[in-house]
A and B are shown apart, each in its own frame.
Chain A
Amino acid sequence: MPTNPKLIEPKPTEPNQPSQIPAQSAGALIAYLLLGVAFGVVLTKSEVLSWFRIQEMFRFQSPRMYEIIVSAIVVAAISVALIKGLGAKTITRQPIYIPPKKLGHGARYAVGGTIFGLGWALTGACPGPLFALVGNGVTVMAAAIVSALVGTWFYGVFRPRLPH
């Protein structure tokens, strides 16, 4: 009988607690690492990690970034629909489950999203590209990563006082 993946101390009032425990066998961990390597290559060859491309996107001067993002979403959406429709399982025969995000007032998504958008355009990088850029030799992005960790930590501190 397939059950939902184990939940970690579910607290209904705490939508921010990580709710899902992925498989973390040694084999799976190696697979995540290798998929990460592949993703770093894809981020580089697709140029989505480039400050120049991000500027071009926010100035609507080339369709390239939009074509990439939309086709990525379409491929991911078809894959997710297939997984759900076919009831596909993980490699270790566990049911695949995507936890729904809680809407709440929606404030966290609108406000948090806008704050991230400001940072995205300034650094020219979202979190994945920050790491890929360091690998590419733009080592000063390590400072942006440290700063992002500080930002995440500040969110943790002020979270009880922020609207969600």
Chain B
Amino acid sequence: MSSTTTLAILVFDPWPWYVAGPAIGLFVPALLIVGNALFGVSSSLRHTCAAVFSGKIEYFRYDWRKVGLWNLLFVLGILVGGFLASHYGGPHNVAISEATKIDLAKLGIHDFLGLAPRELFHWSALLTFRGFVLIVVGGFLVGFGTAYAGGCTSGHAISGLADLQLPSVIAVVGFFAGGLIATHFILPLLR
């Protein structure tokens, strides 16, 4: 395979796991080497709260510019990166397994185009019970849970496990426990 073909595949196709996984892992050393920044995304939510409506809440009373500006720029970059990938990377449909398609069809999901089911993730879906639970309640749980746990997939599952920290092991077990409960017990109630 010529290198131009390889490049074209990387630009236009989804990456195989052995490219995607190591690429994600490399953000840990990259951020540390740039300036002792610890790879993690959920703290940006805290910094935003601290910047916008800290009130008299102690958790938000710190100098967010000093500790958090880097993280807010990193997150802004993520948004831009998503935009660039979607505009120059070709149309993106996700080739999930047939078994998953069958399971999702039982939940009433039949449109498998795009990154997320268009039947569920659009603005008017916010007015439906299911859309509200998935987007608004789900978002709330992401914010509350990551703040409580002190990290999300990046901070605990990647950074924390890479540094062999026990708290992160407990957190990641929790991530999967919660995900399995929501997938197998809550989603069927929402159809």
Contact = CB atoms under 8 A, between A and B. Distances in A.
Interface string A98-119: 1111110010111111111111
Given A8-B66, A39-B74, A46 B23 contact: yes
A49 B25 CA distance: 16
Given A29-B70, A50-B115, A122-B134, A112 B148 contact: yes
Contact of B18 (A58, A67, A103, A122): A67
Contacts of B182: 58, 117-122
Given A123-B135, A156-B60, A151 B22 contact: no
B7 interface: no
A116 B149 contact: yes
B32 to A, nearest CB: 5
B116 A52 contact: yes
B179 A118 contact: yes
Interface residues of B, number: 132
A139 to B, nearest CB: 7
A20 to B, nearest CB: 7
Interface string B149-182: 1111110111111111111101111111111111
Main SS at interface, chain A:
helix
Nearest to A116: B145
Contacts of A160: 58
A46 to B, nearest CB: 3
Interface string B115-126: 111001111011
Interface string B133-144: 111111111111
Contact of B117 (A21, A38, A52, A82): A52
A118 B96 CA distance: 21
A16 B145 contact: no
26 contacts: A8-B67, A24-B66, A28-B35, A31-B34, A36-B77, A38-B81, A47-B14, A50-B115, A52-B112, A67-B21, A73-B25, A76-B158, A90-B32, A90-B33, A106-B167, A108-B150, A115-B174, A116-B175, A117-B145, A117-B177, A123-B134, A126-B153, A140-B126, A147-B142, A152-B48, A152-B144
Interface of B: 10, 14-15, 17-18, 20-39, 41-46, 48-49, 53, 57-60, 62-63, 66-71, 73-86, 89, 92, 94, 96-97, 99-100, 103-104, 112, 114-117, 120-123, 125-126, 133-154, 156-168, 170-184, 186-187
Interface of A: 5, 8-9, 14, 16-18, 20-25, 28-29, 31-59, 61-64, 67-77, 79-80, 82-83, 88, 90-92, 94, 96-103, 106, 108-128, 130-141, 143-157, 159-160, 162
